[in-house]
Every structure is written in C-alpha cells, then in structure tokens.
Structure 1
C-alpha cells in the first residue's frame, strides 16, 4: 500500500486536471474521468486500485447521497412528487424487469434471478453525471428539480431490487409474501431510522457545547451512522440517508450556526468532489481486471461487449418510452386530479428520456457482488461486471456528450414555474429592506438615534443600496444587527415555505448572504 502512495497522489492530481479541462472545454467531467481511467489502466506497471466489495457501498454511497439530500429542495421534491415517484420507483422497476427478461432470453446461462441482479444494478441513472452536464446548459427549473429528486430515490428502489435478486440467486427461491413484508420493512424502517438518527444528531448539535470543527465532523459522521444503523436491522440504508438528510437539511437553520454552515459547505464540497472523482476514475481503472475475469469464464471479449450493448439499448429505449409514457399518463390523470402541468409538451419528455447516464451507484452495486456464496462461485460475476462497465461507458460518452447539443437544439420552453431570477432577487431584496427597517424603527429607536452603523443600515435599506464597509460598533449594536439578520432569515424561510413560485436556490443565496453578514459581525 505504502509503495503505491505516490501513484494515488498522482491520480488525485490527474483528476483535478481533468476536471479543469472539462470545465474549459465544457464537457462533463465524469466522461473525461472514465475515459482517462480506461487509458491509465493500459499503462504497463500501473498498480491495481481495488476496494473491498463489502466496503464499496459504505465508503461512497452515504456521503454522496447525504450531500445530494442537503442540496435538494423539499419544496420542489413535494411539488413534483408524482413524476419523481413514477420515475424513481415505477420506471426503475419496469426497467429492471425489461433487463431481466432480455438477459434471460439472449445471454446463455442467465437465469431470471440473475437477470434481476443485473437489472437492479443498471436501472438507476446517475445524478452526478446529469448535474455535471446540465451545468453547461440552461434548462427549466422544473426539469433540474425532477432529475435531482429522481436521483435521490431511484438509488433506493434499484438497490432494493438488487438485494432481493441476490437472495433469489443465493437460495434459488423467491417467496413473494416474505419479499413483500421485507420490502415494506426496508422502506418504512429505512426512512424511520434515518429520521430518528437525524433527530438525535439535531439534538446533539443543539445541546452539546460543540464548536465549528465539531459540528462539521458530526455532519461527516451522520450519513455513515444512518446507513450502517439501517443496514444492521435489514432496512434500507439508502432511504435512511436520504430521509435523514432531507430532514436535517430542512432544519439546518435551527441547529447549525452561520459559521458551521459556511465552513461546512466548503468541507462537504471538497469531500464529495474527491469521492466523485475517484469513483469515476475507478470505473475506467477496473476494466483490465474485469476482462481477465471474462477470459477465466471462457467468454470472448466481443461476445461480452455485444451483451453490454444490447442491455444498453434496452435501457436507452426503456427510458425514452418512460419519458413519453409519463406525458400520456399526465394528460389522462389531469382529467381526474389536479396535476402540476396538463400540457408539458413533447420536448421535455425527450430530454428526460435522454438523461439516462449510469455511474456511481451501478458501479458500487456491481463491485459489491461477492466472489462466492457459501463457497460456490457467484454465477457470471465477471460478465455482470463487464456489462455494467459497458453500460456506464456507453451511456456516459454517448448521452453525456450529446445531451447538451440536444438541449440546445430542441430549445425547451420557459414553463413559468418560477419567477425570473432578477425579479425574484429584487422582490426579496425590497421585502427584506422594508421588514428590516420596520423592525429597527419599532424595536430599537433609541439605539438607532445614537449608532452610526444602524443609521447607515437604515439609509441603506431605505434606498436599496449595497455597501460592505464595516464600522467599529458596540456589542449592543451588534446584537441588534444580529437580531435583524435573524428576522430576515425567518422571513426568507417563511417565503420559501409558502410561495411555490419562488425558487429555493435564490432563497438559499440570500440566506448565504445573511450568514456572511453574521460572520462579518464576529470579525468586526
């Protein structure tokens, strides 16, 4: 291990350079990292980069899912719950069935149970790839919200399918009523345990005398505790992390200080950035070992590639059909219930159907397959790994490189779900100024008459001017300003909760500014 340390350092530097290159040429970094890993793997003398299959889920999934839950908007998730739920559960389940049937029919030696193992692995699209690609093109807020919400939940549904299929392969039988009870416990137990652990950590942050460093460490530990705790009682660790992460994200302003939030964001961005880079590089680096395993099974490289391309075609066609199927179902449902949009048009389903890049979760699930079960080699393990690799590579390169072009060509309409960004910022700025000025004059009039800073702030709010100059002030004035900032924070949270058309990302931008103002007070 120690002799390979320089290689690992060089790998991290290479990841950074490739991501910078991706930003420069406007290509999503997962595509470059997979191709680079593939190229590096063929360099003679390169040490193998291996992770214990039993640890792959624990190392990568909890923090990646937790960070995604914190970045997601519960408001948007609930607003688009029907379409998100259908893609995250129904589409994933139908995709797994399609893959299982095709694999059972066209791949020699593939039982239906083994086909479901493969289906559970490759059915969830990868959120990291989609978000990295969408960064370079402008898409309506509703589409990014649906993709982000889907990515939170489809991992859980696919891994539940994967787990049941693994049991069927190991035991040779599938008892539906036991599976139904187990499924119910995995969902309800997973979410419940995640919420319970989230509540415990929330109380720990509030009641224990923690500082900023301790708060950040607790946030790093939280997803692992949620995941391991749920898995220990055979519930869904993924749903525990997602449920607990959404709960804590929605209450972040109750238990974390502005310093903890600001510094925690930086730490988490760097941590997740590194994990994503490593896992996509790992996809490419793992190919030589998978190919050597194919030779050991007596399967030719070209034959295995053909199977991989067949499964990839099933996945692409299945998601395209799901995109347009959702359009039809929405139109029919609109005659019976209130839906978010009765006429979404044909362009959005086309883009949704083409956002089916596979990545982190598929790789983690495939690598977690044990080499043997009860001393018996797992059937076609290396072929499953290779098919998964082909699916990830082809969808990332084909769809990842063409998606930005497709989005620009179809020219998605502005669905008017949210107020324009500039209008929203002006609206919030004016309301914050008005409420702050009212609060200051009604509650702190004596200090207003004596304090230069408070007079300056009152003038600033009155005229909607921006000024960053700090003035040395008394502790009492600082407390008053902090009280006003807290008032602004509550106003923004209230706006976010009660006004659907205000984009939560802009709300978070204003909350971030308030945190920065609070930090300035501490430094002043």
Structure 2
C-alpha cells in the first residue's frame, strides 16, 4: 500500500497536467490520457495496479452516472425521448448482435455468448470523450441533448446485455422466458428503487438541519446506496442511479440551498474529473499486461489487433446505419422534430454522419471488460478473457484516436451545425436576463404596492432594475470595463492578504471577505 500511494498521487498530478496540456492543444483530454498512460506503462519498475473485478463497477460507475443525471437537461430528454431511446436501447442491442454474429464467425472458438458479451461491452459510446471534444466546437442543443441522453441510458442497456451474456457463458444455456422476466424486473425494479430512494433522500435533505458540507456528503453517498440497493434486489443498479439522480436533479431548488449548490457543483466537477482521469489512464497502463496475457494464451498480437480493428469497423458501421435509420424514422413519424428544417436536404442528410461519428468508447466499456471474472462458476478459467480485454482496449484506443481527433475538424469544416433557427448562446442568455429583469421589477412593485416593504431601499432597488430594462445594452458589461473591474478585485485580494498580517483581525473574517470577492469575480465573468 505504501509503495502504491506515491504512484497514485503522482498519477493524479499527471492527469491534471495532461488536462492543462489538452486545453492548450484543444484536444479532448481522454485521448492524451490514454496515450500517456500507454507510454508510462513501458517505464520499468512501476507498481502494478490490481483492480478487483467485482468492485470496478461499484467504485466508478455510480458517481459518474449520478453526476451525469444532474447535469443533463431533463426537458430536452423528454423532447427527444424517441431518438434517445432508440440509440440507448435498440442501437446498443443492434451493435451487440452484429458484433456477436461476426466475431462468432471469424474468431476461432468464439461462441455466440462470448460474442454478445464482447458486443455488450463495446456497444455504449462514452459521454466523457464526446463532452470533452464538444468543448472546442459548437453544435445545436438538440444534438447535444440526444448525445447526453443516449450516454446516460445506453450504459444500462449494454450492462444488462453483459449480465445475461455472462450467465450464458457460465451456464452454457440461455432460457428466453426467464431472460424476459429477469429483464423486465431489472428495468422496472431499477427505476422503482431509484425513484423511491431519490424521494427518501430528498426528505432527508429537507427535514434534517443540513448545511453545505453535509448536503455534499449526502449527494456522494446517494449514488452508491442506490446502486447497492438495486443490485441486492437483482435489478439494474445503473437504472436506479440514473432514475434517482434525475428525480433529485429536477427538484434540487426545493431542498438544496444556494451554498450547497455552488459548493457541491465544484466538488462534483473535481471528483468526476479525477475518476474519469484515473480510468482513462488505466486504459493505457493496463494494455501491456493484457498483451502479456494474450501471449500466454498463444494468440498472436497481430491477429488480436486485426480482431480489434474489425470490431471497431463493425461498431462504426452499425452506428452510421442506425443514425440514418433514426433520422428517416423521425422524418416519417415525427416531422415536427426534424433537424434543421431550414437547411438544404443535402446538409440534412449529411448530419447523421456526424451523429454516427460520435461513437467514442471509454469508461463504461473498460469497467465492463475489467469486471469479467477470472474463472467460471465451475472453477475453469474464463474463456478468451484476455482477448476480450485486448479487443476492448483496441476499440477504445482506435475510436478515441480516429473519431476523437477528426470529429472537431469535421464539424468545423462541414458547417452542418450552423442553424439559423437556433438562438446563439449570447442571444439566449440575453433573453433570459431580460425576462428576469421584467419579473424582478414586477415582483418588487407588487410587494411595494401591497405595503409589504416600507424599506426606503426598495425604491432604489426598483430604480436600478428599471434602469436595466430601459437600457438593455447595460446587461452585458463591455470587455474593457470587465477587465478593469477584475483588476480592481485582484487588488482587493492582494490588500486583504496584506491586511491579514494584522494580529487583531481573525483570519476567518479575512478569508470570508476573499470568498465574497471570488464570487463577485465569477458573477462578472458570466456577464
């Protein structure tokens, strides 16, 4: 343990440095993490990281899924639920089936059950990789909502396939009627447990005298308890976490204070970044060990690479076909939801190409692969485990490098996502601010007329907001004024640091004032 701790701390530092470099190079950081992890793995004398297959899901997946359910737009999910559902369930099954049939055909000794296992592992695209790439390009909110919603639900469908495939490999049989009953319970039970658990946690937040730290601790415990409870009931822990997370996220204003929301957001952003960083780094670090296992199994490396490349091509092809199928189905059955009705047919039919190209694999695929047990229930070694791990690594690596590096270039060059009908980010924010100003003036005047506020400061407050609505250009601070104000705030912080030397002033109050300045700086940067 003492030997592993310095290595893990150094690994976290490397992850942070790589993220900084990725931002500078405008490259998605998961790509660099995988490559650097692979390079580090060849350094002699490094300790081996052993991960218990039974714990990999429980450590990484619950918080990753929970945070994703809090950041997604539930309103957009409801709007595009048909396309999201088709990609999250039908496309995942179609991909797994295609992989199963073809691997059963061209990999010697690879049964259909093993093919479904591999297909379930590599079928779900990774939201982290796509999100990291989208930082550097602009796409419509509708497309972003579909990708986020898909990534939130496809993990559950793929892991259900993996679970049934593991049972089929272990027992050598697959009973369809039993599978239907088990599948129904996994879906219904997982969602039900998630909603019930979410409601109980919401009551705990409301009724207990919590503050920001205790609220954050509760939110950290929630996904793990939801996942554990669902798994104990033999239902889907992933669906329980997603359902509970969505339930709580849509009601966060009713049970979390502003302090809890601000601090919790920073905590979760840092936690998820570290968890994702560790997983992507593990992808690179573990590859040489898997190659060693291949050699022990007598599988030539070049043949294994060929298998991985073939599976990658299958996945890309099936996602492309599925993207065009979803678009055609939408045009036929839901013409009101067509993408970009104000653009040419040529551009409209080219768009699924980009939607299909966002199929980078990552965290969930790795976790699913590493969760494969070392032995079968009979005690025999799990068949082709090293090959499945290697193919998974190759799929992750190729999709990250090929699709991940080319996707921003395709989006920028194709100019397909510049829709005239969609508000720009600045226009949307200005509209929200205008609505807020109007409502604020109405509320203040209403309370003033009712005599609820006799404070002389109320009239001054009304005058300030009326000035904002009469001069909307003042809602957005000019860059020169913003920069001058930020310099003043920095000078204030420096002064407080000097003032802290006064022995009569407690440092707690100095830090409190610095916190106010930090919050003010964040507000100014968003103007």
TM-score (norm 2): 0.86
Deviation of 1:449 after TM superposition, in Å, equals 5.5
For the 8 Å contact 1:63–1:224, the answer to whether it is kept is yes
- CA deviation map 1:393-448 (0-9, x unaligned): 00001111000011112112444664333333333322222222222222235576
Partner of 1:426: 430
Q: How does 1:478-489 map to 2 (within 5 A)?
A: none
Secondary structure in structure 2 of the residue aligned to 1:2: coil
Structure 2: distance between partners of 1:225 and 1:10: 30
Deviation of 1:347 after TM superposition, in Å, equals 2.7
Secondary structure in structure 1 of the residue aligned to 2:312: helix
Structure 2: distance between partners of 1:342 and 1:422: 20
Q: How does 1:297-376 map to 2 (within 5 A)?
A: 297-334=297-334, 339-341=337-339, 343=341, 345-374=348-377, 375-376=379-380
For the 8 Å contact 2:206–2:255, the answer to whether it is kept is yes
1:248 aligns with 2:248: yes
Partner of 1:451: 456
Structure 1: distance between partners of 2:432 and 2:357: 36
For the 8 Å contact 1:125–1:151, the answer to whether it is kept is yes
Deviation of 1:30 after TM superposition, in Å, equals 0.3
Q: Which runs of 5+ in 1 are unaligned?
A: 470-515
Structure 2: distance between partners of 1:21 and 1:427: 35
C-alpha RMSD over aligned residues: 2.1
- CA deviation map 1:337-361 (0-9, x unaligned): x545595812320111100100000
Deviation of 1:220 after TM superposition, in Å, equals 0.3
Structure 1: distance between partners of 2:279 and 2:273: 10
Structure 1: distance between partners of 2:181 and 2:350: 40
Q: How has the CA–CA distance of structure 1 residues 244 and 450 changed in structure 2, closer, same or farther, with 3 Å as cutoff?
A: closer
Secondary structure in structure 1 of the residue aligned to 2:3: helix
Deviation of 1:320 after TM superposition, in Å, equals 1.2
- CA deviation map 1:453-489 (0-9, x unaligned): x3332122101156999xxxxxxxxxxxxxxxxxxxx
Deviates more, 1:345-354 or 1:376-385: 345-354
Secondary structure in structure 2 of the residue aligned to 1:456: helix
Partner of 1:183: 183
Secondary structure in structure 2 of the residue aligned to 1:234: coil
Structure 2: distance between partners of 1:400 and 1:77: 24
For the 8 Å contact 1:330–1:342, the answer to whether it is kept is no
Structure 2: distance between partners of 1:384 and 1:58: 21
Partner of 1:441: 445
Partner of 2:145: 145
Partner of 2:212: 212
Q: How has the CA–CA distance of structure 1 residues 247 and 202 changed in structure 2, closer, same or farther, with 3 Å as cutoff?
A: same
Structure 2: distance between partners of 1:378 and 1:462: 71
Secondary structure in structure 2 of the residue aligned to 1:377: coil
Partner of 1:295: 295
Structure 2: distance between partners of 1:346 and 1:366: 35
Aligned residues: 471
Q: Which runs of 5+ in 2 are unaligned?
A: 469-473, 486-518
- CA deviation map 1:126-160 (0-9, x unaligned): 00000000110111111111100000000001001
Q: How does 1:467-478 map to 2 (within 5 A)?
A: none
Partner of 2:24: 24
Partner of 1:266: 266
Q: How does 1:476-515 map to 2 (within 5 A)?
A: none
For the 8 Å contact 1:69–1:246, the answer to whether it is kept is yes
Structure 1: distance between partners of 2:446 and 2:309: 69
Structure 2: distance between partners of 1:422 and 1:362: 37
Q: How has the CA–CA distance of structure 1 residues 125 and 447 changed in structure 2, closer, same or farther, with 3 Å as cutoff?
A: same
Partner of 1:506: none
For the 8 Å contact 2:28–2:404, the answer to whether it is kept is yes
Structure 1: distance between partners of 2:419 and 2:69: 25
Deviation of 1:10 after TM superposition, in Å, equals 1.1
Q: Which residue among 398, 404, 412 is the counterpart of 1:400?
A: 404
Secondary structure in structure 2 of the residue aligned to 1:42: coil
Structure 1: distance between partners of 2:295 and 2:191: 42
Q: How has the CA–CA distance of structure 1 residues 342 and 177 changed in structure 2, closer, same or farther, with 3 Å as cutoff?
A: farther
Deviates more, 1:3-12 or 1:340-349: 340-349
For the 8 Å contact 1:449–1:455, the answer to whether it is kept is no
Deviates more, 1:459-468 or 1:233-242: 459-468
Partner of 2:389: 385
Structure 2: distance between partners of 1:386 and 1:363: 10
Q: How has the CA–CA distance of structure 1 residues 160 and 43 changed in structure 2, closer, same or farther, with 3 Å as cutoff?
A: same
